[in-house]
Amino acid sequence: MTDQVRKKRAHLLGFIQHGVNSHATGMWRNPKDKIGWNFARPEYWRHIAQTMERGMFDAMFIADELAPYNTFEDSSDATVKWAVQCPTHEPSTIVPIITGATRHLGVGVTLSTAFEHPYSMCRRLSSLDHLSGGRVAWNIVSSYSKSEWDAYGAVMTDRSQRYARLEEYMEVCYKLWNSWEPDAIVADKESGIYADPAKVHEVIHEGQFYKCRGRHFCAPSPQGQPVLWQAGSSGQGRDFASKHAEAIFAVHPNVDRMKQYADDLNDRTINKFGRAPGSVKLIYGLQTVVAETRSEAQEKYERIKACIPLEGAIAWISGHFGLDFSKFSMDDIVQNIEIPGIQGLFESIIYAKGGAPVTVKEAALIYAQGMGMPVAVGTASDIADQIEHYMDEGGADGFMLAATYTPGCFEEFADLVAPELQRRGRLRTRYEGATLRENLLAS
């Protein structure tokens, strides 16, 4: 076996939102952002989809939340004022546009279970899986932000309760997705029988949180069920992801943290939940800033950082970490603060300086640039070196690449970095299968 064959190939996901800003606060004001494009129009999504497919990405990953953050100063004013992931449009609406413009690219869509019954969730996802020819993934989230619960007029439940509900939610989903037997559809024109009711099972579920009595309204879709994605990072979250997900997302600022995480997740998936090695992909956040020369890349990077508004940055960490950071001094040390929000992402800033103290101001500015992800700045070769390092030493199977400005950053990645990765045998040169699951689980 040659070295080329032995090397793990990177699975690439383009991490973006159906909105003006995605995960780099202030992105919209970068002179390179959306030149001639409107994020709310289909042609923008077609172009980005085709660019990612040219770069041999597995999928576009559409992140989402359900309402503007309102933790900072108990208001969503700063979120709206500084475009902190706002406005953001509904994510599943663009899935058919993306898959209609491509042949292989998958789409992972973030949909919250908090305010939707599993019955309609399964129906929507099965429909999208049909329309895409089996290229849909579901990023399962349960709404960690108070603003989402406020917007839906509900009282936020704690993490433990959210995971308990989620577990039952999945039970109902699996029952629905598995309820049609493969040969249930007869479609015999002569007799007029379309489907055999004995093979389309009614789901009867009477649980603690959900009730359901009915047949799944969609015929089995190409993948049977969407590819399941998850990004839980607490102990409960890691268990949930290890049990259910086929790709798990995390943000770690350095290779040591990646390695610890990979060891823990692999132990949970294989030893605790008895899943086969390789059946779950570990995908890490990465931001790339590439140019023909290092000095040009550095210049671009400085421009990206200069776009970040400090108040917007603080509003974002307040939203994600569930704490009003206006109540802290900018010089307070984040290592001394306990947060109720997304612990896994908070750790990305706790360890942003290798464990050395990080002030609130530093944390906000680091986070606002790309959610605490490591940033690879340089030539295609520099970036490919870093990617190889994270794969070989950090246990990464792939990367969610956070947008810095769109569609330019994905065009640059496809034109400069993807060919370099292919030269090194680290990226596919053709898609392996027809469905997203086949491509994601390959190699």
Ligand X SMILES: Cc1cc2nc3c(=O)[nH]c(=O)nc-3n(C[C@H](O)[C@H](O)[C@H](O)COP(=O)(O)O)c2cc1C
Which part of the chain contacts ligand X (CB under 6 A), choosing from 329-337, 340-348, 349-357, 431-439?
A: 340-348
DSSP string covering 261-313, please? HHHHHHHIIIIIT-PPTTSSEEEEEEEEEE-SSHHHHHHHHHHHHHT--HHHH
Question: Which residues face 222 on adjacent strands?
Answer: none
- At its nearest, how many Å lie between ligand X and the CB of residue 124? 17
Size of the site for ligand X (CB under 6 A): 23
DSSP at 171: H
Q: For residues 23 and 426, which CB has a smaller minimum distance to ligand X in the complex?
A: 23
Three-class secondary structure assignment of 98-154:
HHHCCCCCEEEEEEECCCCCHHHHHHHHHHHHHHHCCCEEEEEECCCCHHHHHHCCC
Task: Give the residue, chosen from 118, 220, 319, 344, that forms a contact with ligand X under the rule CB under 6 A.
Answer: 344
Q: Does 110 bind ligand X (CB under 6 A)?
A: yes
How many residues are recorded in the chain? 443
Distance in angstroms (rounded) separating the CA atoms of residues 189 and 176: 27
Q: Does 368 sit near ligand X (CB under 6 A)?
A: no
Among 156, 345, 391, 396, the residue binding ligand X under the rule CB under 6 A is 345
The answer to whether residue 251 forms part of the interface with ligand X (CB under 6 A) is: yes
- CB nearest ligand X: which residue? 237
Side chain identity, residue 214:
G
Indicate the DSSP class of residue 190. Answer: T
24 in contact with ligand X (CB under 6 A): no
Contacts 24+ apart (CB under 8 A), 331-337: 331/359, 331/360, 331/361, 332/359, 332/360, 333/357, 333/358, 333/359, 333/360, 334/358, 334/359, 334/360, 334/363
Annotated ligand binding at 179? The verdict is no
Does 233 show up as a binding residue in the annotation?
A: yes
Piece of the chain touching ligand X by CB under 6 A; list 70-78, 139-147, 298-306, 434-442: 139-147
User: Is residue 64 part of the contact set for ligand X (CB under 6 A)?
Assistant: yes
Q: Is 233 in the site for ligand X (CB under 6 A)?
A: yes
The verdict on 304 binding ligand X (CB under 6 A) reads: no
CB-based contact 314:331 (threshold 8 Å): no
Among 111, 289, 323, 342, binds ligand X (CB under 6 A): 342
Span near ligand X by CB under 6 A; candidates 80-88, 138-146, 260-268, 374-382? 138-146
| E strand segments, 309-396 | 375-378
Between 241 and 307, whose beta carbon lies closer to ligand X? 241
Q: Which stretch binds ligand X (CB under 6 A): 5-13, 74-82, 249-257, 434-442?
A: 249-257
Q: For residue 25, give the nearest of 411, 405, 407 by alpha carbon.
A: 405
Q: Tell me if 343 contacts ligand X by CB under 6 A.
A: yes
Identified binder of ligand X from the candidate list 285, 312, 322, 394, rule CB under 6 A? 285
The distance of closest approach from Cβ of residue 35 to ligand X in the complex, given in angstroms and rounded to an integer, is: 26
Q: State how far the Cα of 30 lies from the Cα of 300, in Å rounded to an integer.
A: 10
Determine if 231 is a binding residue for ligand X (CB under 6 A): yes
Query: Using the rule CB under 6 A, which residue among 7, 47, 54, 159 binds ligand X?
Result: 159
Which residues contribute to the annotated binding site for FMN?
A: 64, 110, 163, 233-234
Which residues contact ligand X by CB under 6 A?
Answer: 63-65, 110, 112, 141-142, 144, 159, 231-234, 236-237, 249-251, 285, 342-345
